[in-house]
Amino acid sequence: MEKISSKNKILISIVGPTAIGKTNLAIQIAKYYNTEIISCDSRQFFKEMKIGTAVPSDDELAEVKHHFIQNKSIHETYSVGDFERDGLAFLEDYFKKNDICVMVGGSGLYEKAITVGFDSFPDVDPQIREQLNQELEESGIEKLQNELKEVDPIYFEEVDIHNKQRVIRSLEIFRGIGKPFSSFRNQNLNPRPFQIIKIGLELPREEMYDRINRRVDIMLNEGLIEEVKSLLPYKELNALQTVGYREIFDFFEETSSIDFAIEEIKKNTRRFAKRQMTWFKKDETINWFLPDQLEHIKKYIDQKKSSN
């Protein structure tokens, strides 16, 4: 494969918390530069999960060509390492004929995989993972969450602690190596052969939370409950261990009312947005704007382009 060699190739990465308006901005920026969009939203990869992951509408998808949207099944295993490989291969090919590409998403680890690189973790005895899965089965996720909080408070604040596989993976590293999962990040990273311009969207907390609440109401009107019901037989799959699905699974299993489930979705989504901002605010290369500052953002990107 021919290697990208020119720093004139530019990836514009748009990040921020859920429901803040990243999709709309990405489309406007992609149209302005006559280019295409890569999604780095780890939940939007799966074609069975459309409503609860806020996949762009058919009209939005028709405005600009999107990649890595509903391209996998929940029955497939797809890791951040897989995405790094596939995303870089896509850019390798795309930049042969195009100078700019837009990437958008709120999954910090997946955004980092493309812009910085995925960390190299040491091999761990597979029996450790078996033991952790057994503990999960016998004692539940809370015990493992508490252990993670104690041994790796840095990663605990960033990870979706309800994602069983990520909790297990981080504890697997700690138990096997004796060092916290977070200590292995940012090691042996490969510089990218293209320029990266990072745009972050933010709002005052109350306004952000109001957008989240309204987003959940829209999802419900669009048929979220029916979508989750259709996935009930597969509720143990890793892809479905996410906000908006597990709360309604509890309703169908009669461990909560639908009103309680809806309020839990809103609450857990607000918490998720807070963790997203904690993650992204640590990245000093991100330049922050309000969602309605389109002209300011375009001017900023143009200036960055011309200065390199």
The DSSP secondary structure of 171-182, one letter per residue, reads HHHHHHHSS-GG
Q: Is there a binding annotation on residue 269?
A: no
In the sheet that 10-15 helps form, which strands lie side by side, from edge to edge? 66-67, 37-39, 100-104, 10-15, 195-201, 286-289
Q: Is there a binding annotation on residue 56?
A: no
Q: Is there a binding annotation on residue 26?
A: no
| In contact, 39 and 66? CB cutoff 8 Å | yes
Nearest to 265 by CA among 202, 220, 226: 220
What values do phi and psi take at 142, rounded to 5? -60, -40
Three-state DSSP state, 201: strand
Q: Is there a binding annotation on residue 115?
A: no
| CA-based torsion, 199, 203, 209, 215: positive or negative | negative
Contacts with 235 (C-beta within 8 Å, 6 or more apart), sequence order: 245, 246, 249
| In contact, 48 and 231? CB cutoff 8 Å | yes
Q: Is there a binding annotation on residue 16?
A: yes
292 sits in the region (left: phi over 0; alpha: psi -120 to 50; else beta) called: alpha
Q: Is there a binding annotation on residue 17?
A: yes
Q: Is there a binding annotation on residue 285?
A: no
Q: Is there a binding annotation on residue 19?
A: yes
Residue list, annotated binding site for ATP: 16-23
Residue list, annotated binding site for substrate: 18-23
Residue list, annotated binding site: 16-23
